[in-house]
């Protein structure tokens, strides 16, 4: 048995260390992604990976089961405490069978559940639909109460039956996302199926889909702690495997094993550096591609303005001309009806009345002012979308340029022949603004 432990423990320790290292690199990649994503506005969200900040809004909010709080997401669980005395048989170091008793205790979940609704993330520019299915949700605490059977909550929100060896104590815990709660979100935007607008939803190709009630700074800090914790556990796993391999385990004199420990730590650090180079270089490539995508989005918005605004102007102008012609026809018909007063001999134009009524019924609300207001809204929205696309490009290009200037990223950039991206200025756009002029 000891020989098997000596044989397999080093391999298991090294595999576990590599697993911890891999987890550390994955967390580091996520933190770099958060660092490299500028926060977008909801009205400036285009197809692709985005970072957003806003509040959770929904027309028909959910009601949390325990706290009765209005929300867009909640999860709850009810745990019951138990304790028991057990007797176990074991073999001591002399090969003799012995018995002993010990006390065991713990919590068992006796009820749980929850709901999640699609909601809108709203900021100062608008709102965007979020479909949270498949996201990693970091909720806030709603409810946390521990009570005994004397509390009405014990049976009101928990099952009537008890677990084996129950102490008749229950813990009620609930978390969720409250209505109007501020959120930090990283996810993939796609086109909605029902209307022409984007939405945030799960995507297997997306590197992250996070909905958090924590701020961006706290999310980054949490990832940083996880990075170093996993890296440290990886070192311990490597050293633990080596100690078991050398028969003496950890109780051997440290000075005796110091050279080998140093070699093992050096090997682990070398693997960590190689892993970091792989992760960082891929992150730079991803950032460069997102910069290219951001520029294409600016171009798409400019093309949208170029194609859309002239057509809207033509539509409004045609509507205004049609309204003017219709109003002229109505005025002529009215003049004909009043040209000959009642009782005075002359031509009878009463036959015009049916035609007049037909025109009025066909165009009961014939007004071009609504069309002009719609055109004004489209003009303002189009220019705002272009401005947001420009700002997003400059933000993400600045992130790339910063990466290419700091050490050690600038050394990796040489491998990919990456160059800084020039920022957009007011005079850098090829397409001139579309003029809006309605013919007289």
Residue in this structure with the two tokens 């009961």, named with its chain if needed? 364
Neighbours of 360 (CB within 10 A): 13
* pLDDT of 248: 47
Sign of the Cα pseudo-torsion (320, 321, 322, 328, in order) = positive
Q: What is the dihedral of CA 287, 292, 293, 296, to 10 degrees?
A: 160
Residues 199/121, Cβ–Cβ less than 8 Å: no
* pLDDT of 200: 96
Residue 316 and residue 327: Cα distance in Å, rounded?
16
Alpha-helical segments (H) within 339-408: 352-362, 369-405
Query: Which of these, 149, 141, 186, 185, lies nearest to 170 by C-alpha position?
Result: 149
Residue 139 and residue 177: Cα distance in Å, rounded?
5
Query: Which of these, 241, 224, 226, lies nearest to 17 by C-alpha position?
Result: 241
Written as one string, the DSSP assignment of 211-277 is EESS-HHHHHHHHHHHHHHHHHHHHHHHHHHHHHHTSSGGGS-HHHHHHHHHHHHHHHHHHHHHHHH
Q: Are strands 126-130 and 198-201 parallel, antiparallel or unpaired?
A: parallel
Q: Any idea how long the chain is?
A: 440
Q: What share of the chain is helix, strand, coil (3-state, %, to 5)?
A: 50, 25, 25
Joined tokens for residue 406: 């700091």
Residue 199 and residue 188: Cα distance in Å, rounded?
8
Neighbours of 268 (CB within 10 A): 21
Cα-to-chain-centroid distance, residue 317: 42
Domain ranges of the chain: 2-252, 279-415
Query: Which of these, 87, 78, 233, 219, lies nearest to 159 by C-alpha position?
Result: 78
pLDDT in tens, the chain (440 residues): 444 444 445 567 778 888 999 999 999 999 999 998 889 889 878 778 899 999 999 999 999 999 999 999 999 999 999 999 988 887 877 778 888 888 899 999 999 999 999 999 999 989 999 999 999 999 999 999 999 999 999 999 999 999 999 999 999 999 999 999 999 999 999 888 888 788 999 999 888 999 999 999 999 999 999 999 999 998 888 777 666 555 444 445 544 554 566 777 788 888 889 999 999 898 888 888 888 888 877 777 777 666 666 666 666 665 556 555 566 655 665 565 555 555 554 444 455 556 555 555 455 455 555 655 665 666 667 776 777 778 778 888 888 888 888 888 888 888 878 888 888 775 555 555 555 455 55
Phi and psi at 133, nearest 5°, equal -60, 125
Residue 416 and residue 404: Cα distance in Å, rounded?
11
For residue 150, the SS3 value is coil
Q: pTM higher than 0.75, yes or no? A: no
* pLDDT of 2: 46
């Amino acid at each position: 048995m000891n020989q098997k432990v000596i044989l397999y423990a080093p391999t298991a320790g090294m595999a576990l260390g590599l697993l911890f290292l891999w987890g550390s690199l994955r967390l580091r990649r996520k933190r770099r992604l958060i660092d490299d994503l500028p926060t977008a506005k909801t009205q400036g969200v285009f197809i692709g990976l985005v970072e957003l900040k806003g509040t959770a809004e929904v027309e028909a909010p959910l009601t949390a089961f325990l706290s009765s709080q209005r929300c867009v997401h909640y999860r709850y669980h009810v745990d019951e405490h138990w304790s028991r005395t057990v007797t176990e048989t074991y073999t001591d170091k002399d090969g003799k069978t012995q018995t002993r008793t010990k006390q065991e205790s713990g919590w068992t979940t006796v009820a749980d559940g929850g709901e999640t609704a699609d909601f809108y993330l709203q900021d100062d520019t608008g709102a965007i639909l979020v479909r949270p299915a498949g996201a990693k949700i970091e909720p806030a605490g709603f409810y946390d109460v521990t009570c005994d059977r004397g509390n009405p909550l014990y049976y009101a929100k928990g099952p009537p039956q008890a677990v084996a060896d129950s102490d008749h104590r229950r813990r009620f815990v609930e978390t969720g996302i409250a209505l109007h709660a501020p959120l930090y979100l990283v996810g993939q935007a796609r086109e909605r199926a029902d209307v022409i607008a984007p939405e945030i939803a799960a995507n297997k190709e997306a590197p992250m889909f996070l909905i958090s009630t924590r701020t961006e700074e706290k999310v980054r800090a949490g990832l940083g702690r996880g990075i170093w914790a996993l890296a440290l556990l990886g070192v311990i796993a490597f050293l633990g495997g080596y100690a078991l391999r050398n028969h003496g385990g950890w109780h051997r004199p440290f000075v005796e094993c110091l050279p080998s420990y140093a070699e093992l730590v050096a090997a682990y650090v070398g693997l960590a550096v190689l892993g970091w180079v792989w992760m960082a270089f891929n992150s730079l490539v991803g950032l460069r591609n997102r910069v290219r995508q951001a520029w294409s989005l600016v171009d798409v918005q400019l093309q949208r303005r170029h194609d859309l605004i002239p057509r809207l102007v033509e539509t409004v102008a045609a509507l205004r001309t049609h309204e003017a012609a219709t109003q002229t026809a109505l005025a002529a018909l009215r003049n004909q009806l009043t040209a000959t007063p009642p009782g005075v001999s002359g031509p009878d134009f009463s036959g015009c009345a049916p035609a007049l009524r037909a025109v009025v019924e066909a165009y009961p609300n014939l007004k071009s002012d609504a069309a002009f207001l719609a055109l004004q809204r489209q003009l303002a929205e189009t220019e705002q979308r272009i401005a947001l696309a420009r700002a997003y490009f400059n933000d993400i290009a600045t992130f790339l340029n910063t990466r290419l200037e700091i050490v050690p990223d600038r050394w990796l950039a040489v491998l990919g022949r990456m160059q800084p991206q020039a920022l957009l200025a007011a005079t850098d756009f090829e397409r001139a603004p579309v003029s809006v002029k309605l013919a007289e």
